[in-house]
């Protein structure tokens, strides 16, 4: 079983910053991908950022240059630094882990859509007011 616990969400004004954290625990699969998704009310859950197997971070266009994903492997914590927040960033943010086979790898945009079997935490709410 995989446990993901997000924190750090809050209500901020446009232009503000937040840092989300995700504590990852539970069964340690030998190979997996990690990233962040978000879901606005009435909309589907969509990918925001993720790491590919080569260690490179990629972002959806709307957050490029404003958000930074990072990971502390010593503590198994995933982060999302969000700067210059905009009202359209308002959503519930979810940490995600996708287990892949040993012969497989995390494609550059593996987080482009939710797949069956993806693990998510309970999410943390980010609200940005104008």
pLDDT at 129: 97
Beta carbons within 10 angstroms of residue 3's beta carbon: 12
Q: What is the tens place of the pLDDT at every residue in 72-92?
A: 999 999 999 999 999 999 999
Q: What is the tens place of the pLDDT at every residue in 8-65?
A: 999 999 999 999 999 999 888 888 999 999 999 999 999 999 999 998 999 999 999 9
| Separation in Å, CA 129 to CA 36, 44, 86, 104, 120 | 21, 21, 8, 41, 26
Instruction: Determine the Cα angle at 31 with ends 28 and 32, to 5°.
Output: 85
φ/ψ (deg, to 5) at 89: -85, -5
């Amino acid at each position: 079983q995989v446990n993901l616990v997000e924190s750090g969400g809050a209500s901020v004004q446009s232009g503000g910053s937040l840092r989300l954290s995700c504590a990852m625990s539970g069964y340690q699969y030998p190979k997996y991908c990690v990233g962040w998704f978000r879901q606005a009310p009435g909309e589907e859950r969509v990918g925001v950022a993720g790491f590919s197997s080569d260690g490179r971070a990629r972002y959806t266009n709307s957050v490029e240059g404003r958000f930074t994903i990072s990971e502390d492997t010593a503590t198994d914590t995933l982060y999302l630094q969000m700067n210059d927040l905009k009202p359209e960033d308002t959503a519930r943010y979810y940490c995600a882990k996708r287990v892949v086979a040993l012969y497989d790898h995390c494609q550059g945009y593996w987080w482009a859509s939710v797949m069956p079997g993806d693990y998510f935490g309970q999410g943390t709410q980010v609200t940005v007011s104008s």
